[in-house]
Structure 1
Amino acid sequence: MSTFAVVTGGGTAGHVLPALAVADALVAAGHDPSELHYVGCERGIETDIVPDTAYDHTFFDVVGFQRSLSRRNLGFVPKMWNARRAAIRLLETLRPKVVVSVGGYASMPAVFAARKLDIPVVVVSYDRRPGRASTVAARRAAVCAVAFENSPLPRAEMTGAPVRQAILDVDRVAGRDAARRSLGIADDRFLVAVMGGSLGSGVLNDAISRIVADHADDTTLAIRQVAGERFADSITSAGDGSSGIHHQVIGYESDMPAVYAAADLLVGRGGASTVHEVAVTGSPAVLVPWSGAADDHQRGNVEWLSEAGAAVLLTEDDVADGGLEREIVRLRRDPAALAALSAAASDRGEVHRSGALAHVIERVALTSPTL
C-alpha cells in the first residue's frame, strides 16, 4: 500500500505523543495505519514508544542545537546533513503525498527532504508560542495547523491540537472505577496524579516529598507520582495505604488514559500535550510551567487555561513556597471548585475534538506532485 503521509517529530514525549496523535487522527479519518510512516530520532523517547504502535517508523541520528555553549553543537551540522540525505532517500522510496511536522529537531531532516523533493509540508503547532523548528518549517509550509488563535505563523489555520484517540475517548465519570482498579487505587481516596513530564521535574518531586511527609497518616489520600526515570530510583514510596497515605512512585506513565479517568486532581507542567489533554478530558489541574522552557512558552500554554478558569497556574517560586500543598488542600475541600475547573477545561477542549486537523492534511495532500 502506498504511503499517504510521513509524520515527523520527536526527542521528547512532548513531540512524540502529538505525532502519534496526528497519525491517530488520520486513521480515524479513514486511512490505514500502513499508509502512515513516523520519522524521529535515534536518541529520543520514540524508540521506546513508537515500535509498540501500528505505524512503520524510521529513526535518524540527529541532535538538537543547544542555546548555551555545548560540545553537542559540534555534531549538529554534520549529523543534520547526513540525516537530510537519508531522509531524501527515504521519501523517494515512500513517495508520500504530504509530510506533517510536529516540531522539534527530530523533524528537521524530513522537512528539509520534503522541500528538496517538492512534497508539501503541513506544520502542526500546538504551543501558544511556536518553537524554533516549527518556525523554520513554517516559512515554506503549505499550511500551519495551529491550536491557538492569533498564531504568528504564516498561513495559519485554526484546527485544534493533535490529541491521541485514547485520550479523546476518556470518560472521567463512566471510566473512573475501572481506571482506579487498573491503577490499584481505592475508590474512597482522593487521588492526586503528579506528572513531571517525560524527563521528570525536580521542582515537583521535591514539593511532593514535603506534601507526602506532611500527610503521611492520611488514610483518605493517594498520590501517584510520575517522577521521571532519572529521579524514580532515588524516591521511596511513603506508604501502600495500609495505615496512611497511598503513595505510588513510577518513572514513566504508560497509561495516561487511566490516570485522567481516575484522578481527582492532576498536577503537571505546562507542556502542550499536558495542557491540551487536560482540556479534552476536563481534568481539574494545577499546572506549573517550567521556567527554563524556550521563550517561556509553557507559561503561555497554561495561561490559555488559567485565563478561562480552566486550571490553576503556579510558578516554580509558588511551589517552593508551599503553594502547591495549599492548592491541593484547598481544592480537596471544595468540590464545587474542582467541578468548575473541570467544566471550564472541557469547554476549552472542544476545539480539539473537531477533526479539522485531518481534513487540512488531506486537503494539502491533494496538491502533492508525483515524485
Structure 2
Amino acid sequence: MRVVLAGGGTAGHIEPALALADALRREDPSVGITCLGTERGLETRLVPQRGYELELIPPVPLPRTLTPRLLTVPGRLRGAINAAAAVLDRVQADVLVGFGGYVATPGYLAARKRRIPIIVHEANPRPGLANKLGARFTEHVIVSHPDTPLPNAKFIGIPLRRDIATLDRLASGDKARSYFGLLPDLPTLLIFGGSQGARSLNRAAVACAPAFREAGIQVLHIVGPKNTEEPEPGPKGSPQYVTLPYCDRMDLAYAAADMALCRAGAMTCAELTAVGLPAVYVPLPHGNGEQRLNAEPIVKAGGGILVEDAELSPEWITANLLPVLADPARVAQMSEAAAAMGRRDADVALARLVREVVQGAQAR
C-alpha cells in the first residue's frame, strides 16, 4: 500500500498526518508513505525528524480579499497541481489523505485528476477552504468535532502521537516531575502557548510568580524561543518556577502537571483531553474564533475554564486559578471530565479507514 499525506504549514496540519503515518507503519512496516509539503512550512523539519519521505511542491496561498494577487493564483495553482500529480505518479499512490493547509488543495486536485481515492481530515470546527474543496471530491470525510459542517462527515477525532495517546499521567507523575527538576508533592501548573510561546500568557504568568510561590504552587512554563519575560528568583526553599524555551517531551510535561494554562488550538485541546489534564484555555484573540469553539465543549463538560485573552492578568489568575489548584478534589473532578471528552484511538481508526478505502478501490 502506498499512501500520500497532504498536510503542511503548521503543526496542527502536520502532527495528525504523522500520527496516521506512525499508525499505518505499526500495522504494516512495508507501507509506503510520502508527505507532500512546501518549503515554507514546519514539515521541512518535522517530517524528516520522524523518518518519512517529504516531497516539496510550490505553495499557493489564497488571498482572503480581492487583490491583484488573486489573478496570479490559477497559474501558480496549475503548477502546484502538476507537481503534486508527478509525486502521485512516481510513488504509484493508492490513496491521498489530506489534512488541510496550502499543500492540500493541489493535492486534492491532483488526486482527482488521477482518479486516486481521497480521504479528508478536518481538525477544526470550522473547515478551511482546502478541506471544503476536498470534501466535494470524496465520501470519506473525517472530522474532529461532531458538528463540523462538511458533507459525509464522520466523527473520529484527531490522530495523536502514541507517547501522548498512551500516556498514564498518574503513573508517570513522579518521574516526570523529577525530569524537570520539580518536587513530587506540590500542586503543579503547566503553562505553554504553542511552539512559539504566547506573549500575553507569559506576561501574566511571570508577573504572578510571587503569588504562585506564596500559594505553594510550582510552575513549569514553556515560554517559547523568543520570550523576554523571566520571573525573579524566589526565596531559597520556595516552590520552583521552571522556565524552558522549548519542550520536546510534552508527554512528560503533561504527566508532571495537575493543570495547564494554555491556548486552545485543536491539537492542544485534543491532547489535553486525551491525557485527562484540565486547563484554563485562553483562545487566540484573532483569527476566526475557532480556538474558542475548540475549548467550549470541554469547558461545558467541566474539564476546563475559559478566559478571554484581554481578561487574563495576574489578578485573574490569583482570583480564579489559584483556588482551583488549592482544591485537589475539584482538580480530580475536572480531570475526569476532561478525560471523558478525549479520543485516544483516532490514529488507529483513521488507519483502518485508509486500508478499507484502498482495498475497496483495488477490488473494483
**Aligned-partner SS, 2:15:** helix
Distance apart, 1:274 and its partner CA = 0.6
Match of 1:223 in 2: 219
1:169-219 residue CA offsets vs partner (Å, 9 max, x unmatched): 11111111222222222213322111211232222122112212544x549
RMSD: 2.7
Match of 1:317 in 2: 310
2:137 corresponds to which of 136, 140, 143: 140
Distance 1:353 1:112 in 2: 26
Distance apart, 1:139 and its partner CA = 1.4
1:272 corresponds to which of 262, 266, 273: 266
Segments of 5+ residues of structure 2 without an aligned counterpart are none
Which amino acid in the other structure matches residue 115 of structure 1?
Answer: R
Segments of 5+ residues of structure 1 without an aligned counterpart are none
Distance 1:247 1:76 in 2: 49
Matching of residues 139-178 of structure 1 within 5 Å: 139-178=136-175
Match of 1:260 in 2: 254
**In the alignment, is the contact (CA less than 8 A) between 1:314 and 1:323 conserved in 2?**
no
Distance apart, 1:334 and its partner CA = 0.9
Match of 1:4 in 2: 2
Which amino acid in the other structure matches residue 223 of structure 2?
Answer: A
**In the alignment, is the contact (CA less than 8 A) between 1:118 and 1:369 conserved in 2?**
no
Task: Pick which of 83-92 and 63-72 moved more.
Answer: 63-72
Match of 1:357 in 2: 350
Matching of residues 118-137 of structure 1 within 5 Å: 118-137=115-134
**In the alignment, is the contact (CA less than 8 A) between 1:166 and 1:257 conserved in 2?**
yes
Which amino acid in the other structure matches residue 228 of structure 1?
Answer: G
**Aligned-partner SS, 1:174:** helix
Distance apart, 1:236 and its partner CA = 2.7
Task: Pick which of 100-109 and 171-180 moved more.
Answer: 100-109
CA gap 1:50/1:72 in 2 versus in 1, 3 angstroms:
farther
Match of 2:11 in 1: 13
1:228-287 residue CA offsets vs partner (Å, 9 max, x unmatched): 33x32x233533885434233333321111111111111111111011111110011111
CA gap 1:160/1:211 in 2 versus in 1, 3 angstroms:
same
Distance 1:212 1:140 in 2: 52
Distance 1:178 1:155 in 2: 44
Match of 1:199 in 2: 196
**Aligned-partner SS, 1:225:** strand
1:39 corresponds to which of 30, 36, 59: 36
CA gap 1:250/1:80 in 2 versus in 1, 3 angstroms:
farther
**In the alignment, is the contact (CA less than 8 A) between 2:6 and 2:96 conserved in 1?**
yes
CA gap 1:81/1:312 in 2 versus in 1, 3 angstroms:
same
1:212 corresponds to which of 209, 214, 217: 209
- Indicate yes or no: 2:285 matched with 1:291: yes
Give aligned-pair identity as a percent.
32
2:45 corresponds to which of 26, 30, 48: 48
Distance 2:173 2:74 in 1: 49
**In the alignment, is the contact (CA less than 8 A) between 2:60 and 2:80 conserved in 1?**
no
**In the alignment, is the contact (CA less than 8 A) between 1:203 and 1:316 conserved in 2?**
yes
**Aligned-partner SS, 2:238:** coil
Task: Pick which of 271-280 and 150-159 moved more.
Answer: 150-159
- Indicate yes or no: 2:229 matched with 1:235: yes
Which amino acid in the other structure matches residue 23 of structure 2?
Answer: A
Alignment coverage as a number of residue pairs:
363
Distance apart, 1:164 and its partner CA = 1.4
CA gap 1:205/1:75 in 2 versus in 1, 3 angstroms:
farther
Distance 1:207 1:75 in 2: 44
1:86-128 residue CA offsets vs partner (Å, 9 max, x unmatched): 1111110111211111112232232221111111111111222
**In the alignment, is the contact (CA less than 8 A) between 1:62 and 1:76 conserved in 2?**
no
Which amino acid in the other structure matches residue 195 of structure 1?
Answer: F
Distance 2:28 2:205 in 1: 43
CA gap 1:58/1:284 in 2 versus in 1, 3 angstroms:
same
Distance 1:153 1:221 in 2: 44
Given the two structures, how large is their TM-score scaled by the length of structure 1? Answer: 0.88
CA gap 1:176/1:100 in 2 versus in 1, 3 angstroms:
same
CA gap 1:281/1:51 in 2 versus in 1, 3 angstroms:
same
1:117-153 residue CA offsets vs partner (Å, 9 max, x unmatched): 1111111112222222221211112311112223311
Task: Pick which of 238-247 and 44-53 moved more.
Answer: 238-247
- Indicate yes or no: 2:108 matched with 1:111: yes
CA gap 1:351/1:236 in 2 versus in 1, 3 angstroms:
closer
Match of 2:320 in 1: 327
Given the two structures, how large is their TM-score scaled by the length of structure 2? Answer: 0.90
